């Protein structure tokens, strides 16, 4: 890679890590906000869903716009709105302002994350793309993993401190992007490629349509699995808070190592579609095993297997999507993020509702969808081969 490309990738990774770190700083203090301001669980649920809802609406529109006007303006806009949302959250004690802050935050994520992925695909060749997408995924995961612990430490100086810190991190990312990120050019439309016309309907065809379906299923499966995990292992296996923290910490470390060190090597060895198949099979096996085992050690091992598989699924599918079309990366990554957000909204809602019936039903549904998706990956391979 050229020095210009390396600098671009470095700034994208740095900014994505900061924005994800800022997002997750607030998680430990949400219960304190609920209790101190006397909000209901429904209030907090709506506050959380507004973020994902706005992100799902904005992502495909922003992706198409970034193809037309260039990536850098939208990256700057996303970072600026992120800082604004955190300032609003820190200043207010009113529910409607908290909700407005979350709406702005969802818009900022919808602007920044798919645009960063699109720019990474623009500036890298096929040889290095899997590695770069893996690095971006690791930055995304790393920020989300490290944020809650740092947020808990900062909250000791006041529960609003994490929000001010997140705003500062957003501004640092904004300044670094403004002055250090090279200017990019809008994507040129061509008449030979329908997808290059910026129409999202043009990319929802053939094997790409199936890849978007797999994105939706993987995000639905991960959020369904993760959202009720602590309740499931506490009620069924008697896990303590210490046990749960240990498993999630180990998962974060293993997932980061897998994405940074091994992701590109695995792709080079078995290809993206091969990794997608292995990840779907491993995640289904891990979740299935949790439903029948009685050993806490096996529960921990299968949890790590399932989480690691989920964490490798997304960058593998994203990398394959970026290679499926040489142009229109903004539209592709916008739809990618939008469908991920839909899965993030639907997964917890459906899993929590099913959990009221029986502890094992949500995970049985997850296993069913993962198994079906494993079979669908062979359709993607066969369709792609014919082209």
Q: What is the DSSP string of 80-131?
A: HHHHHHHHHHHH---HHHHHHHHHHHHHHHHHHHHHHHHHHHHHS-HHHHHH
**Averaged pLDDT, 344-356:** 78
Domains of the chain: 1-184 (1.20.1250.20), 195-387 (1.20.1250.20)
Sign of CA dihedral 68, 74, 77, 81: positive
What one-character-per-residue DSSP string does 296-317 give? HHHHHHHHHHHHHHHHHHHHHH
- pLDDT class for 91, splitting at 50, 70, 90? very high
Alpha helices, H only, 37-94: 41-69, 72-91
The reply to whether the predicted model has a pTM over 0.85 is no
Rounded Cα distance between 214 and 373, Å, is: 7
Q: Which two tokens stand for residue 262?
A: 């091994």
Residue 363 CA to residue 361 CA, distance in Å, equals: 6
pLDDT at residue 326, as a whole number: 57
Q: What is the pLDDT of residues 231-282, one digit of tens each?
A: 788 888 888 767 876 787 787 788 878 877 888 889 889 988 999 999 999 9
Residue 54 and residue 64: Cα distance in Å, rounded? 16
Across residues 49-78, what is the average pLDDT?
A: 82
Residue 201 is predicted with a pLDDT of: 59
Predicted confidence at residue 109, as pLDDT, reads 84
State yes or no: pLDDT of 198 exceeds 60: no
Between 135-139, 315-319, 322-326, the lowest mean confidence (pLDDT) is in: 322-326
Cβ–Cβ contacts within 10 Å for residue 169, how many?
25
pLDDT of residue 347: 80
Average pLDDT score over the chain: 80
Provide the pLDDT for residue 192: 39
What is the per-residue pLDDT for 225? Answer: 83
At 195, the pLDDT band (50, 70, 90 cuts) reads very low
Residue 185: pLDDT band with limits 50, 70, 90: low
Between 370 and 380, whose confidence is greater? 370
pLDDT in tens, 93-136: 898 998 999 899 889 988 888 888 788 878 887 777 777 877 88
- Percent of the chain exceeding pLDDT 90 equals 18
- Reduced to 3 states (helix: H, G, I; strand: E, B; else coil), residue 381 is helix
CA gap 352, 346 in Å, rounded: 10
Q: What are phi and psi of 296, to 5 degrees?
A: -65, -35
In percent, how much of the chain has pLDDT > 70? 84
Residue 328: pLDDT above 70?
no
Confidence of residue 204 (pLDDT cuts 50, 70, 90): low
pLDDT of residue 327: 58
- Asked if 131 and 263 touch (Cβ cutoff 8 Å), the reply is yes
Length of the chain: 387
- Note the pLDDT tens digit of each residue in 133-173: 778 877 877 777 677 667 767 877 887 888 898 899 889 98
Of 25-29, 193-197, 297-301, give the range with the top mean pLDDT: 297-301
pLDDT of residue 220: 86
At 190, list the tokens.
Answer: 């061509």
In angstroms, how far is the first alpha carbon of the chain from the final one? 29
């Amino acid at each position: 890679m050229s020095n210009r490309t390396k600098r671009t990738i470095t700034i994208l990774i740095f900014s994505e890590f900061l924005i994800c770190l800022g997002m997750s700083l607030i998680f430990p203090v949400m219960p304190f906000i609920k209790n101190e301001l006397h909000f209901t669980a429904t209030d907090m649920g709506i506050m959380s869903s507004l973020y994902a809802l706005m992100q799902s609406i904005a992502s495909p529109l922003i992706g198409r716009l970034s193809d037309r006007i260039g990536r850098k303006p939208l990256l700057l806009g996303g970072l600026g709105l992120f800082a604004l949302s955190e300032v609003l959250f820190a200043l207010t004690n009113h529910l409607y302002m908290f909700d407005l802050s979350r709406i702005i935050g969802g818009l900022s994520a919808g602007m920044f994350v798919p645009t960063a992925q699109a720019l990474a695909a623009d500036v890298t060749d096929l040889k290095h793309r899997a590695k770069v997408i893996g690095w971006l995924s690791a930055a995304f995961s790393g920020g989300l993993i490290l944020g809650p612990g740092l947020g808990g430490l900062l909250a000791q100086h006041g529960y609003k401190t994490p929000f001010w810190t997140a705003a500062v991190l957003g501004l640092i990312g904004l300044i670094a992007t403004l002055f250090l990120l090279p200017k990019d050019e809008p994507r040129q439309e061509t008449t030979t490629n329908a997808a290059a016309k910026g129409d999202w309907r043009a990319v929802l065809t053939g094997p790409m349509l199936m890849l978007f379906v797999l994105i939706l299923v993987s995000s639905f499966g991960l959020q369904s699995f993760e959202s009720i995990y602590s309740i499931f292992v506490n009620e069924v296996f008697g896990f303590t808070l210490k046990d749960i923290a240990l498993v999630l910490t180990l998962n974060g470390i293993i997932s980061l190592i897998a994405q940074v060190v091994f992701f590109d090597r695995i792709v080079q060895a078995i290809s993206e579609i091969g990794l997608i198949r292995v990840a779907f099979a491993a995640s289904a096996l891990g979740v299935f095993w949790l439903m029948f085992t009685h050993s806490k050690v096996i529960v921990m091992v299968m949890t790590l297997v399932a989480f690691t598989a989920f964490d490798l699924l997304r960058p593998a599918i994203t990398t394959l999507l970026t290679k499926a079309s040489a142009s229109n990366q903004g539209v592709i990554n916008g739809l990618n993020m939008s469908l991920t957000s839909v899965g993030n909204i639907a997964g917890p809602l459906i899993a929590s509702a099913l959990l009221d019936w029986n502890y094992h039903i949500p995970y049985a549904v997850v296993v069913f969808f993962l198994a079906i998706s494993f079979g669908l990956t062979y359709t993607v391979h066969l369709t792609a081969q014919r082209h």
